[in-house]
Amino acid sequence: MNTERPEPALSPESAGLAPGRGRLAGRRIVVVGAGTRHIDDPDAPVGNGRAIAVLAAREGASVACVDMDRAAADHTAELVEAEGARAVVIEADVSDADACARVIEQSLAALGGIDGVVANVGIGGGGGLQGTSAETWDNVFDVNVRSHFLLAKAALPVMSEGSSIVLISSIAGLKPGSRLPAYDASKAALFGLCRHVAMEGSRRGVRANVVVPGLIDTPLGRWATSGRPSRGTTRVPLGRQGTAWDIAYATLFLLSGESAYITAQSIVVDGGLTQIG
């Protein structure tokens, strides 16, 4: 007798099918990492950054779609415009320090202001302590931490009261499991960075928070599972991996006025994995 619970059906929100409710009406949002990685899977799901950009548009925002892959950013922009919103495409590699300032400058000029910034970029690399070189460590931190610092540094002075910065981390920053020390350490570093951004931002009425994804079914997630099959068989208390839309809705909440009294906090979106898994 099979006693395993079947995978639960997705809600309209988790499936990306719920209608917009005007939660970001009139806001101007910059999504860094708005493209979706291409993998050889005809049924590949949407990635976190694209879902965030599309949902922001559905909820009434104009969106700057930033990515190092111009074609991926262009496609996200098309989806944003299909929601009836304005889209701006900015091609940038945020591992380049100068590019981070340029992203904010161009977004500000194109959108006429910035009410929200989402830093959704991250890379892995190496394998265990012995398999991680100093160069790999530095490259991972350049993308996963330094870019977030530089984006916040450039954005904070031009963001008005009521604006919001959201950093996308990972449960790898909370517990071991990825076997990538540079990735784990860099994702953990975002919590400390967020606290400082929130402290400085509070003087201007700008909030900063972190969204912490667990096991999420995205193209990057499927690619990670292909290299570490045990990832795909991890038992999640809520019975399924998350979707990019689950991450997008948590991000939407932190970008919206609904979280006006929340700053320097983290929302863990992991189906209970880190606490009761």
CA distance 32 to 118: 6
Domain ranges of the chain: 28-271
pLDDT digits (tens, 9 = 90+) for 52-111: 999 999 999 999 999 999 999 999 999 999 999 999 999 999 999 999 999 999 999 999
Rg of the chain over all Cα atoms, to the nearest angstrom: 18
CATH classification number, 28-271, choose in 1.10.150.120, 3.50.50.60, 3.40.50.720, 3.90.850.10: 3.40.50.720
Tens digits of residue pLDDT in 105-125: 999 999 999 999 999 999 999
C-alpha distance from residue 109 to each of 80, 97, 158, 194, 256 (Å)? 19, 19, 11, 26, 22
Average pLDDT, the chain: 94
Half-sphere exposure of 12 (CA within 13 A, CB side): 4
Confidence of residue 2 (pLDDT cuts 50, 70, 90): very low
Poorest-confidence range of 13-27, 39-53, 94-108? 39-53
What global pTM score does this model have?
0.94
pLDDT tens for 121-156 read 999 999 999 999 999 999 999 999 999 999 999 999
**Closest by Cα among 110, 24, 29, 86 to 60:** 24
The interaxial angle of helices 181-202 and 134-141, nearest 10 deg, is 30
> With contact defined as beta carbons under 8 Å apart, do 167 and 119 qualify?
yes
Q: Which residues does the annotation mark as catalytic?
A: 183
pLDDT tens digits, one per residue of 198-255: 999 999 999 999 999 999 998 877 766 666 666 667 899 999 999 999 999 999 999 9
